[in-house]
Structures are given as C-alpha cells and as structure tokens.
C-alpha cells in the first residue's frame, strides 16, 4: 500500500518508517569508505534484515553476513548471493545447509572447527573457513555488549592457537566493538596485531567485525581510511572485511506511535502509548539504548538521577501497552501538553529494533514503511492476528 504524506503527523497508527534518502546517504558514504580504503564492507543481518529493501542495498554492496541458518537463507534467497557466516555454535542438523549458502564460514572455537571443517569442505569445496579470535581488549563499557568480557564465550585467545594453523583455516574474525569510533578501532588494532600478527602470513583474509559507527556525525572517517590503508601496507596479502550493522541504518527513520491514555499516580503522569518497549523497542530496556523523542527532552539519566525543576511543566513517563510492569522508558519533558491520539515519535529506531521485536502479550505490532524521496509512503508490512496466531501453530 502506498500513500502520500507531507509529515509523520498524518500517521494514526504505529509505524516504523525507513527514510530512503537517509538510507542512501549512509550507503553512499559506506561505499566510498570501502573504495578509498580498499576493503569490503557488508551488511550484518543481526542489525537489519528488511528484505524488501535489498534492491537498494545491492546498488552499493555485494553481499551480507549471517549468524544463523535463517539469516543465511535470507541472504542467499533474497539478497541473491552466498553469504559470510559466523555463529557461536553450529548444529548437526543445520550445518550442511549453511555450508551450501556460504562463501566464508567462521568457527567460534577450535572444537567446532575440528568437528565440522572436513564435513563443510566436502559439501562446499570453495568455501573459505575462518576462526574467531579474542584480542582480550575491548572498550565496550556495557557488559551486555562486550564480547571480550571475562569468561566470554566468543573466540579463541592467542595462547590457545597452534603455531601452524590447520590447512583449511584461511581467515581470522575479530569483533569487539559496539557503536565505537575510529580511534577505538585504532587502539584495538594495536592489541590485535601484537597478539595475532605472527599468523598473518598463513591467512588470506581478516574480518574486523561490526560496531564501526562510520555514519555517525562525529565519526572520523578519514582516520578509519588511514588506519585501513596503513594496515594494507604492513600486510598487503590480506583481504579486509568489515561488517557493521548500525552504521548502515544510523538515523534513517523513526518509530511513530500515538498516545492512547494518560494516567496519574502520586504526581507521576504516565503517557500510555500504542507501542511497547519490551515488544517493539527492547534495547530501551536491555541496554538501555534511549532514542531521542521528538519535541521532548529527557530529565532522567540512565542511572535513575533526575534533573527536575519548577520550570518543567509537561513531564510524562512514557509507558508501553503490555502487561509488563517495567514496560516504560524514563521521564520526558515535552514542549506542550500531550493530547490523546497525538503522535509520540521515537527517533533513530530502525537499526536492531526492527529485528528484535516480539509479540509478547499479543500486542499489535507496528507496521513497517519505506518513505520514498518523492514523499510517498510505501507500507512494506502490516501485521495481523494471523501473524500472532501462527507463531505458535
């Protein structure tokens, strides 16, 4: 379904809106970085997998990265290309199909490599195998997102690798960032080379994973290009791969919701919305990742501290529509008194959010739409009772 809109205020139902012009802006920058740095940059499905937009992505990138059989199949069937695959653990009942759909396949452990390498090569002799390594260094402060935290289940430390890698291993995969800048990558790379450079002559490629937030306004793109070009000079035989997720979709569109009720308890006003944080914005509770809210300012820090003062007149706690008691996100001061039916717009809600949603409590799922540059809004997906019902069929 397609409609013409001049503003999001004309929407009267919950919708994730991906703005094509902003998506292309990001894709053009990422494409330029890949060319200038002579690296391959691919889309990680864990952050975005809206397959009806793949024709746009194919104008700028050649393939994608998957972390499961379903993602591998989506890349193969809908993106139209064999994929790069990494999973923390492969299974006997899925590995054969994953192998058929992969150009690159990375193991998380030496035991998984020992178990599956020969089997995979028999099924797909051309697949290039790799091993994920742990640099034991990460500047990610939130343990929930830190792959190098104490006791991590991700990757192999340098002291556990054999001096001579198995013949089938052609690449290393290192992922230890989360929406970080080029300066963090520069410091991480120093640790990575110190620990793993002695194996580089045995490799064909290195995948430096995701978390490189290269489309953020403050990201030092030129520093990233310099880092990668300098790495090429030191190790000219290695093909370099990056697989960001958020960077592709950073600031490409909002989640538009509506106020359905306003309640009050002991001086706290709750603006209850027709969306749910636990269902439709889980990172807001897990991370927490707090998006900006249009026409509002937060008065609460993420550690619970308040910045209340007498001048704040339109303060609401934003509440979701599920039965979870904690289905709310902070306190916000709006520039006006909220009215029933008006829009509350959460900015920058396309990356990760759209792939992590669920149907807990049977809460109605927001539609997904693509805003074209000509002002036309194309509804790519509208959800129904059958979507909820058949999840448990």
> Are residues 368 and 357 in contact, defined by beta-carbon separation less than 8 angstroms?
no
Can you give the C-alpha Rg of the chain in angstroms? Answer: 23
Task: Report whether 36 belongs to an annotated binding site.
Answer: no
Q: CA-CA distance, 172 to 359, in Å (whole number)?
A: 37
> Are residues 84 and 64 in contact, defined by beta-carbon separation less than 8 angstroms?
yes
Beta strands in the chain (DSSP E): 2-4, 15-19, 40-41, 43-44, 64-66, 83-86, 102-107, 128-132, 169-173, 205-207, 239-242, 255-265, 268-273, 296-298, 315-319, 328-334, 343-346, 367-371, 376-381
Residue 186's CB: how many other CB atoms inside 10 A?
A: 15
Dihedral of alpha carbons 254, 35, 168, 104, sign: positive
Give SS3 for 13. Answer: coil
According to DSSP, the β-strands at 15-19 and 367-371 are parallel
Exposed, middle or buried by CB within 10 Å (0-12, 13-18, 19+), for 303? exposed
Q: What are residue 337's DSSP bridge partners?
A: none
Q: How many CA atoms lie within 13 A of 36 on its CB side?
A: 13
- Give the residue numbers of the binding site: 283
**Binding-site residues for substrate:** 283
């Amino acid at each position: 379904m397609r409609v013409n809109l001049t503003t999001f205020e004309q929407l009267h139902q919950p919708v994730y809106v991906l703005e094509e012009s902003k998506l292309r802006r990001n894709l053009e920058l990422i494409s330029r970085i890949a060319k200038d740095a002579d690296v391959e940059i691919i889309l990680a499905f864990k952050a975005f997998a809206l397959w009806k937009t793949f024709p746009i992505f194919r104008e700028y990138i050649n393939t994608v990265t998957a972390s499961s059989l379903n993602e591998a199949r989506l890349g193969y069937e809908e993106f139209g290309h064999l994929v790069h695959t990494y999973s923390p653990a492969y299974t006997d009942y899925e590995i054969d199909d994953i192998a058929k759909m992969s150009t690159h396949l990375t193991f998380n452990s030496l035991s998984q490599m020992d178990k599956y390498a020969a089997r995979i090569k028999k099924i797909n002799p051309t697949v290039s195998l790799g091993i994920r390594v742990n640099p034991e260094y990460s500047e990610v402060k939130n343990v929930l997102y830190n792959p190098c935290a104490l006791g991590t289940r991700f990757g192999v430390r340098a002291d556990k690798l054999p001096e001579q890698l198995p013949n089938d291993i052609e690449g290393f995969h290192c992922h230890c960032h989360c929406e970080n800048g080029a300066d963090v990558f520069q410091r991480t790379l120093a640790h990575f080379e110190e620990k793993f450079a002695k194996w580089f002559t045995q490799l064909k490629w290195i995948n430096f994973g995701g978390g490189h937030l290269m489309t953020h306004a403050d990201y030092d793109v030129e520093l990233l290009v310099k880092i990668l070009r300098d790495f090429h000079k030191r190790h000219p035989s290695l093909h370099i791969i990056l697989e960001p997720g958020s960077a592709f979709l950073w600031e490409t569109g909002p989640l538009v919701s509506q106020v359905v009720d306003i309640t009050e308890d002991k001086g706290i006003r709750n603006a209850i919305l027709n969306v749910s944080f636990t269902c439709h914005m889980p990172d807001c509770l897990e991370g927490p990742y707090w998006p900006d809210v249009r026409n509002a300012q937060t008065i609460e820090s993420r550690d619970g501290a308040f910045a209340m003062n007498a001048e704040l007149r339109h303060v609401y706690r934003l509440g979701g529509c599920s039965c979870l008691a904690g289905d709310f996100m902070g306190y916000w001061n709006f520039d006006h008194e909220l009215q029933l039916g008006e829009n509350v717009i959460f900015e920058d809600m396309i990356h990760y959010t759209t792939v992590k949603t669920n149907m807990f409590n049977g809460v109605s799922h927001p539609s997904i739409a693509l805003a074209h540059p000509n002002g036309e809004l194309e509804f790519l997906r509208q959800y129904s009772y059958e979507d909820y019902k058949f999840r448990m069929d």
